[in-house]
Amino acid sequence: MSTGKKFKIASIGAGNVGASAAQYCLELELGDVVLTDILEGFPQGKALDLTEAGPIRGYSSQCTGTNDYADIEGADLCIVSAGLPRKPGMTRLDLLEKNGQIMTSICENIKKYAPESTVIVITNPLDVMVYLAYKKLEFPANRVIGMAGCLDSSRMRSFVAMELGVSMKNVDTMVLGSHGDDMVPLPHYTTVSGIPITKLMPQDRIDAIVERTRKGGGEIVQLLKTGSAFYAPAASAVRMAQSVIRDEKQVLPCAAHLTGQYGLNDIYMGVPCVLGKDGVEKIIELDITDAERAALHKSAEEVKSGIAGLQEVGIL
């Protein structure tokens, strides 16, 4: 991606996550946004609403809504949130098959209209869907990234700040692994202005924060009762997009394609990445304990099971 140009961002899926991602991109002036969805009038209405907020919120980037993938032509970056939530009576394999079909169709259109784009996937089950996108797009792995650890780390940062009564800006955390109950939060890489949290709170409170981080998405689902989180997932994807578009070289935990790092191969998992104009420019291997490595590999088994499920239904 070159600098000194107006970037074009496609937010694919105009639901709560996709529309929030569009809003954050516009407010950061990352570029013009094309909000894309299959529901007629839905992305157009949201895009018009976001455009009308521009004079008040102080952005001049344009937002357009469309049902036609041809309108994403030439996009520099695509944020993919389209997909179905798991409904009562739906098995995990059912969800995999439905979202696998949706992701396959999206990838065909990205490949056709935005072949040079960097793609950030939010659709669940995240690690499996980003692996499917990688296979279907046939893009270099560095340009296909999953939003996972960025959200999980943000949740952990929030919980640490709440526990200690400090600014969230002062808290740094790191969460590895799959985006689900088997994620691997790393307390010894969690600091407040450089001070390890092990020096600031007792072990039982650290354990409680780790557990709350793992169940972070479920906690919000239980509270909402009719939906799932969208502000923080969208903000996390846009944080990644910002680092790519502005070539910031931020170190962020993302679902990246592993080729032997952490003892894992040909799988997407949450790991610390340097994100810049070329997408994932480097994967950082942290020094982790044997127990953490074992937890990471257990996390990987869940992802492999999902990939096997896609193969079972003939999508991969």
Q: Other C-beta atoms within 10 Å of 193: how many? A: 10
- At position 17, the amino acid (one-letter code) is V
Biggest CA–CA distance in the chain, Å, is 55
Tokens 């960025």: give the residue: 150
Q: Which listed residue (179, 188, 257, 297) is catalytic?
A: 179
Do 96 and 306 form a contact (C-beta atoms < 8 A)? yes
179 is catalytic: yes
Do 230 and 251 form a contact (C-beta atoms < 8 A)? no
Apex CA 191: angle with CA 211 and CA 204, to 5°? Answer: 35
Closest of 27, 28, 25 to residue 9, by C-alpha:
25
Strands 171-172 vs 77-80: parallel, antiparallel or unpaired: unpaired
Active-site positions read 179
